[in-house]
């Protein structure tokens, strides 16, 4: 019994260039979507922190004001750092760096 091996035709330069163009476009689209999503999440965490800051300045109780102030600082910094960390990890999985 013999095995039949099917060989695929070798693509021409034009076909290979078109494949590379399509691949490049998809890669750029994916990277751009990731960048916009990460920026939106960072902006969202910053806005949440600003809400806490606003309430901390609005309250009449000094102790509650300081608690809300530090909560805003913590939420803003931690949210942005975690978002950037996971964006970096996704970039590593994709092979961006």
Tens digit of pLDDT for each residue in 23-45?
999 999 999 999 999 999 999 99
Tens digit of pLDDT for each residue in 58-79?
999 999 999 999 999 999 999 9
CA 64 to chain centre: 34
The burial of 59, by beta-carbon neighbours within 10 Å (0-12 exposed, 13-18 middle, 19 or more buried), is given as middle
The burial of 12, by beta-carbon neighbours within 10 Å (0-12 exposed, 13-18 middle, 19 or more buried), is given as exposed
**Can you give the pTM of this predicted structure?**
0.76
- Using CA atoms, how far apart are residues 72 and 56, in angstroms rounded to an integer? 9
Element of type H or E holding 50: helix 13-58
Extents of the domains making up the chain? 13-91
> So what's the pLDDT on residue 29?
94
């Amino acid at each position: 019994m013999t095995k039949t091996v099917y060989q695929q035709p070798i693509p021409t330069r034009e076909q290979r260039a078109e494949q590379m163009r399509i691949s490049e476009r998809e890669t750029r689209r994916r990277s751009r979507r990731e960048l916009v999503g990460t920026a939106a999440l960072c902006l969202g965490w910053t806005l949440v922190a600003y809400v806490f800051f606003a309430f901390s300045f609005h309250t009449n109780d000094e102790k509650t004001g300081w608690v809300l102030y530090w909560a805003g600082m913590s939420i803003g910094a931690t949210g942005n750092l975690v978002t950037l960390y996971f964006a970096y990890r996704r970039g590593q999985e994709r092979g961006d760096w």
